[in-house]
Amino acid sequence: MAVNFKYVVTEIPPKEGLVMVPTERLQTGIALPFNVYIKDNTVIKKIFNKGNILNSLFLEILKDKGINNVYIDKGEIKSLELYLTQKKPKRKIQDIKIAYSNYSFFKEKHHQIDRKLILPNSKVNFSIYNLKGFELKKIVNATIDNPVTIESNLLELDGDFLIEDKDIPLYEEYIKNLAEFLKKENLSEEDKRILNNLLLKENSKTLMKELLKEPRSGEKIKKVNEMVDNIINQIIEEPESIYSLLTLKGYDYYTYTHSINVGVLAIGLGIQIKMDKDSIYKLGVGAILHDLGKADIPHEILNKQGKLTDTEYQIIKQHVIRGYNILENNKDIPKESFVALLQHHEKLTGRGYPFGLKGDEIKLFGRITAIVDCYDALTTRRPYKAPLTPFFSLSLISKEKENYDRELLKEFVKMLGNVR
Ligand SMILES: [Fe+2]
Ligand SMILES: [Fe+2]
């Protein structure tokens, strides 16, 4: 069975046509004011998102790939002129910190939801917030006593949709009712499938969020096992559903969405390399729980904007062992799953952590989880950093090919679609 990810990597090329720019004129240290494309035979592929900041490694990769020219949207010609004459600005990280000192607090108290499930004209009895960059705005003010009907213009807003954590049960109720209602409508098979995947994803996210709050809850771990089973069955039955199970183009990084993405991608790669179902299950459980140890790391450090200090980095690194310690005595976790958790930051060269394992010491589940973990982190947006395109994230991981399993990387690229 081949999983085709073409949707993830296909971007609609600009309508106005393209202007060629020699690659050597791209500048490092400045945020790109436009998207950047390449022409691969007749196919146009986006390689950088607006807002990406290039460094010398990025330019080296382009050179290695023989990419001597890139293209930008014709409509962006004014910003191109400015960009080519621009001096490197000093980044004002300090300003951002002050503007959003409460940022990590807000994030911890809110839950990201999928906007596709907030349908126009439906009624909600919980408030909805919009997070874009460092700005959090209440866009729907509703309570159980004062439900509000969703207006369609609301859905045009850019950014993440969030609800307050206390309203998660109301949201779960909302999507359950929505599913009941839509079942009675005459939906196409395709829409039904997408809806089921969205529901599975949203329920997985709330469960993961609860588990990160109560990582030692045996009852929640049992539910995770069920969830992994559901996800596997869904993907085996309908490989295309991987796409709707992933949270893409999110505006921020959340450990629970990342965990689900890593689980889904690992399961996809397991299927791609034709692992047996039992092994895929054990891999999936380990991959979804790979960052559970972050539950014990202060959220001010996890959500910090900008560079971490050495001490903060050491604390973040502890999440691997902490995760293991939380789960080691849990009878519901297959022993093999711990390999995914313990080895997801190891690198084949021995430069990873926590053990600095080398080559064959890193087992299959660890190798798979390392690749998909890195891929998901690179393609995720942060408030201060535009996400890398799937194309360039894979290029970056391949550049470090001595650190990752080459064969698995090839299979992963195949699974993501024909991006090279
Ligand atoms: Fe991790
Ligand atoms: Fe991770």
Of 88-102, 231-245, 324-338, 386-400, give the lowest mean pLDDT range.
88-102
Of 242-251, 265-274, 323-332, 397-406, give the lowest mean pLDDT range.
242-251
- pLDDT for 199 beyond 70: yes
Ligand nearest to the CA of 293: 1
Q: Which residues surround ligand 2, an ion (CB under 5 A)?
A: 291, 373
Q: Which CATH topology does 187-416 take?
A: Hypothetical protein af1432 (1.10.3210)
In whole angstroms, give the CA distance from residue 58 to residue 70: 13
- Do 54 and 28 contact (CB within 8 A), yes or no? yes
Of 119-133, 182-196, 198-212, 221-235, give the lowest mean pLDDT range.
182-196
384 φ/ψ sector (left φ>0, alpha ψ -120 to 50, else beta): alpha
Number of helices (H), then strands (E), belonging to the chain: the values are: 18, 10
Please list the residue range(s) of the chain that carry CATH number 1.10.3210.10: 187-416
Query: What ranges make up the beta strands (E) of 104-247?
Result: 110-113, 123-124, 128-132, 135-140, 148-149, 160-164
Task: Note the helical H segments in 146-215.
Answer: 168-184, 189-213
Q: Which residues surround ligand 1, an ion (CB under 5 A)?
A: 291
How distant is the alpha carbon of residue 300 from its chain centre? Answer: 20
Distance 371 CA to ligand 2 centre (A): 10
Per-residue pLDDT of 148-182, as tens digits, reads 999 888 878 888 899 999 999 999 999 999 888 88
Distance 167 CA to ligand 2 centre (A): 26
Chain length of the chain: 420
Distance 61 CA to ligand 2 centre (A): 24
Distances (CA, A) of 194 to 191, 198, 200, 272, 312: 5, 6, 10, 21, 40
Distance 258 CA to ligand 2 centre (A): 7
Distance 137 CA to ligand 2 centre (A): 28
| pTM listed for this prediction | 0.88
Collapsing DSSP states into helix, strand and coil, what is residue 362?
coil
Sign of the CA dihedral 109, 175, 212, 99? negative
